[in-house]
A and B are shown apart, each in its own frame.
Chain A
């Protein structure tokens, strides 16, 4: 494709329209889209060891089963070890969550009081009592209004999440066969360019998801180091959860920051500087992430103009909520590659002429012994 002209405004309008359409569809098929994404991330994680086993002489089936089996055995072992380390009575989790929530609320109240003392206008507005009232109404009605919805949602999501390992297994086992199957359906005239298209789509998705995994690892380590340096407890776990939350642009970062501040303020209730330090560390890591790590990992993978990227993130959020925010960029990356290549195929008169010629040859050969 090198040396050819880039896609024109018509193709780009088509790319954006198709991306928006897919986002709308995505919102209605989230139960499938989310396990599909987890399955794809796992597929790209496990592809290299599976290929090594195939090169060693194992069949596709055996290689996919072995690698998938080992991965899930290691995962189960890790979860079991973590669970046994943190073994606690049944109500310990509720107590822990309640403890941290109280710590967070106390931090907000203290900050409000401090602000009222510094700025009298805020005291006149009764800021603290207003915030207290809001908190009270939220916590009093939380169980009646939201708990049932959250539990039903979690119960509905669990079976669909179990789809992810199945999808990964079949991607690993049949991925290459599926690619060949798709390529077989393409007419000879467009074959080479279509192979290149499939390769580009695969590369785009692979670079994006591998970049995402690298970015998560880097974010986890840097954030854990920063939180450890200011004395917050469980820095690695907090770093990992925040890094995974950051997969969702904007909203995920804010949720991660709130979680870190709540833990920091609960750990040191008498020293608000730890919580302010945690905010500082979080902002510094996000800035590093946005300006250094992300361009080095995800930015390079998609090669989309920064303005388009930002606009499409807003469009994704509007059309499909949090899932749209999270998925709009990889979706746009894949649609962009498909759209640009299809645009080149459709507008290439020589390829179309060769295809028409091949059809005519086929018709002639099929009817060579038929009498008119």
Chain B
């Protein structure tokens, strides 16, 4: 009982779902549990706005269930950028700085999102550099992938 913490924690279905995301795929079960402890759970109804274009970004969102539509305004019209399914994440640039969101996120149907707040990520970088570098590397790879897609002219999910 006392030395129970030396054992790797059992993976709950929620931790499995977190691990399915490319952002957290390299984390160990214990690291996943620590990150999960920092994340907030939010439920959105279909058609509810998650965040607006131009709004200051404070957090990254991970789709746990349901679908999310990413769109941006082009004059008076709206351009659909992407439709995200479970395991995808968006708003990732908010983890790096507090620049304005460059697209709007809206729930397509009832969905459950896990929210990773920037301040918690920054504190994690200070207190647990290993988890911090693993997430940062995954984030850098994700942004690099988008850059390659943009350079090859392929459609890509805009950086938010």
Contact = CB atoms under 8 A, between A and B. Distances in A.
B40 interface: yes
B12 interface: no
A193 interface: yes
Contact of A188 (B44, B57, B98): B44
Contact of A362 (B5, B30, B45, B117): B45
Nearest to B123: A51
A58 interface: yes
Interface in A347-372: 350, 354, 357-358, 361-362, 365
A56 interface: yes
Of A2, A192, A354, the most chain B CB neighbours within 10 A belong to: A192
Interface string B135-160: 00000000000000000000000000
Contacts, number: 65
Contacts of B49: 189, 354, 357
Interface string B34-78: 100110111011111111100111110000000000000000000
A364 to B, nearest CB: 9
Contacts of A361: 45-48
B115 interface: yes
B127 A191 contact: no
B79 interface: no
Counting chain B residues whose Cβ lies within 8 A of the other chain, the interface size class is 20 to 34
Do most interface residues of chain A lie in helix, strand or loop, or is the interface mixed?
helix
A354 B59 CA distance: 18
Contacts of B58: 192-193, 195-196
A191 B115 contact: yes
Interface residues of A, number: 34
A87 interface: no
Contacts of B55: 192
A4 B47 CA distance: 28
B6 A188 contact: no
Given A188-B48, A195-B117, A199-B119, A183 B56 contact: no
10 contacts: A52-B127, A55-B34, A57-B9, A62-B5, A191-B40, A191-B42, A192-B57, A195-B117, A195-B119, A358-B45
